[in-house]
Structure 1
Amino acid sequence: MTGEVRVLVYHAAEDPAAIEEAYHQASNRLQGVPGLRGNELLRSVHDQNGFVVASSWESLEAFQAWEQGATHRDSTAPLRPFRDTRLPVPFAIYQVAAAY
């Protein structure tokens, strides 16, 4: 295992422009967070309202330190109204098991 982590947060939005704007706001707030390698906004090809913010972290410890820190909620606040409430758990955390 590499130690790297991917965090997926599921969102739903009828207005793609609104979630894209929220994504850019949150991403600007996240610049310089230790251990964050980057993130992407993905749109489902099967559900026109389905979106995922996928972030890449150098380790689970780096992600947990940020998640438990004081800036976590403020940084992601623009995206919070779009959280996909259709799902019982609107996020997932995966550790990279293998990569090429």
Structure 2
Amino acid sequence: MSSERIRVVIYLRAPHAGIEQLEKTYREISWVRGDARGSAIQGLIRSELLRDVDREGEYVLHGEWESLEAYRTWQFGPDHAGNPSALRDYQDRSRGRHYAVYAIASGD
């Protein structure tokens, strides 16, 4: 597997009445909060919840990972595979796959 940094995006959608709850749920997730040293998940550099400014209720959860290997280790490991995400109810499956994994093709 490649050792290059990757980006993972998860497409989320909240009903109008659920926007505040989605944002609150994101802030309460332990791996988002982490600790003084950063993320609580090994290999996760940072995560951000991005709100679409033109389409109310649409969000992207963006994660930056040290490598594809680190992401896959977490993705298929017991800390994730056996524990449904608190954001699962907000995953936007209307576009087919609700997430995507990207390698950086070109940088500065």
TM-score (norm 1): 0.87
1:14-33 matches, within 5 Å, as 14=15, 15-26=18-29, 27-28=32-33, 31-33=39-41
Aligned length: 99
Query: Deviation at 1:21?
Result: 1.1
What's the counterpart of residue 93 of structure 1? Answer: 101
Q: Which has the higher contact order (CA 8 A, sep 6+)?
A: 1
Which residue of 52, 57, 61 corresponds with 2:60? 52
Query: Aligned-pair RMSD on alpha carbons?
Result: 2.1
Compared with structure 1, are the counterparts of its residues 67 and 2 closer, same or farther at alpha carbon in structure 2 (3 Å cutoff)?
A: closer
Query: Would the aligned equivalents of 1:2 and 1:98 in 2 still touch at CA under 8 Å?
Result: no
Q: Which runs of 5+ in 2 are unaligned?
A: none
Query: Deviation at 1:2?
Result: 7.4
Query: Would the aligned equivalents of 1:2 and 1:96 in 2 still touch at CA under 8 Å?
Result: no
TM-score (norm 2): 0.81
In 2, Cα distance between the equivalents of 1:67 and 1:79?
A: 15
